[in-house]
Structure formats: C-alpha cells, structure tokens
Amino acid sequence: MVVSQPLQAQNPDQPSTSIQPTPAERDGQHDFDFEIGTWKTHLRRLLHPLTGSTTWAEYEGTTFVRKVWNGRANLLVLEVDGPKGHIEALSLRLYNPQSHQWSLNFANSKGGTLSQPTIGGFKDGRGEFFDQEMLHGRAILVRFVISDITANSAHFEQSFSDDGGKTWEVNWIASDTRVKDEPDQAHETPLHFRPRIARLRND
C-alpha cells in the first residue's frame, strides 16, 4: 500500500538546500612512478626495537624498482651489506582502485614469506602506511612513511608503537639516491630484474 505524503510549501525566506556531490576520490595508481629505476641506498636499522636499545646497524647497497600493470603495482628489490651482514628483501606494492589505497607487502630472503601488508596512500607528496602486527608476543602498530620525494632522492622510515600510536620509535631509515646511468626506466615486467641484477653483481 502506498501512502501519499502531503506536499509542504517552501518558505521563500529560507535558503534552499541541495545535496552536494561527494568529491571524487583521488586516483593514486601512479603514486610510485617517481621510484621506478635504480637507486643507491643507505640504510640504518635499529637492531632491537621496543627494548630501549639504541644500537643501530648501517648498510650500503642498491634498490631496484620496476613498474607492473602500467603503474598499478610495482616490485622493489633491495640488496645491502654492512658490518652486521647482508640483507636481501623485496616489497610488492599493489594499488586497490576501489579503496584508492596501496598495500605494501614486504619479504626478506631469510623468511621467504610476505609480511602483514601496511596500507595507506599519499597526500601532499608524503606517503603514510599502517598495520598491526605481533612483536615478542605483543600487538604493536607499524607505520611506514615515504617523504622528501624529489626526482633523484627519497626518504623512508619505519616506526613501531606499543602504546596505541601515542608514541613511535623509528627502527628503519633508508635514504635513496637515483643512479643516473639507467636510461630506460619504463620496463614493466619483473623479468628485466634478472639480467640487470646479474650484471651489477658481476661488476
């Protein structure tokens, strides 16, 4: 049964109201295009996070980033060495066109599995990504920040919080500088990694 509602006369003295359209979500599928290429990496790592320790280890090496799916994903491969040893790691970044967010999925060669993804996006030239993980049996928050982005440099920081985000302890700092002798930055398939990495290892 349909019940009709009486029409209400509009008061000419009252301002008319209209529903404002929701602003379109920002399309961030090319947010990581700045990073495509080869980079010299200086890495500092806090050896024992959230223990009160202030012992850091330093590493030097190379980062390779290749575009996948026309920028909607990319693959980063990191290889660095320092007094505390050798680190081989990768990060698979995936863009979700529905949520307009990125998920950053990290793995190292010792573990061989992808970690819990950090999820977020970029605003005003700064990327922030968050997740919740377990560390030493405690639930912690993880924050990954990408900042100071230029055509030839970028800064990366990972921080942990064990008090719900009230305070943060930085435990991973990487500064990247572009290697300028790579003319072709448009490769899109991860297969290009293998010959490039092999050449650098043999140099």
Say if residues 153 and 146 touch (Cβ distance below 8 Å): no
> What's this model's pTM, rounded to 2 decimal places?
0.78
Tell me the DSSP string of the chain: ---PPPP-PPPTTSPP--PPPPPPPP--TTTTGGG-EEEEEEEEEESSTTTT---EEEEEEEEEEEEEGGGTEEEEEEEEEETTEEEEEEEEEEEETTTTEEEEEEEETTT-S--PPEEEEEETTEEEEEEEEEETTEEEEEEEEEES--SSEEEEEEEEESSTTSS-EEEEEEEEEE-TT-------SGGGHHHHHHHHHH-
Alpha carbons 80 and 58: distance in angstroms, whole number: 9
| 105-138 per-position pLDDT tens digit | 999 999 989 999 999 999 999 999 999 999 999 9
- The pLDDT, as a whole number, for residue 181 is 62
pLDDT over threshold 60, residue 3: no
Percent of the chain whose pLDDT exceeds 90: 74
- What are the tokens at 116? 């819990």
* Alpha carbon 176 to its chain's center: 14
| 66-104 per-position pLDDT tens digit | 999 999 999 999 999 999 999 999 999 999 999 999 999
Region 52-61 average pLDDT: 97
| 142-160 per-position pLDDT tens digit | 999 999 999 999 999 999 9
Q: CA angle, 203 as apex, 154 and 176 as ends, to 5°?
A: 5
Question: 159-168: long-range contacts at Cβ-Cβ below 8 A with a sequence spacing of 24 or more?
Answer: 160/49, 160/50, 160/135, 162/50, 162/135, 162/138, 165/141, 168/143
- The pLDDT, as a whole number, for residue 15 is 52
Alpha carbons 199 and 53: distance in angstroms, whole number: 39
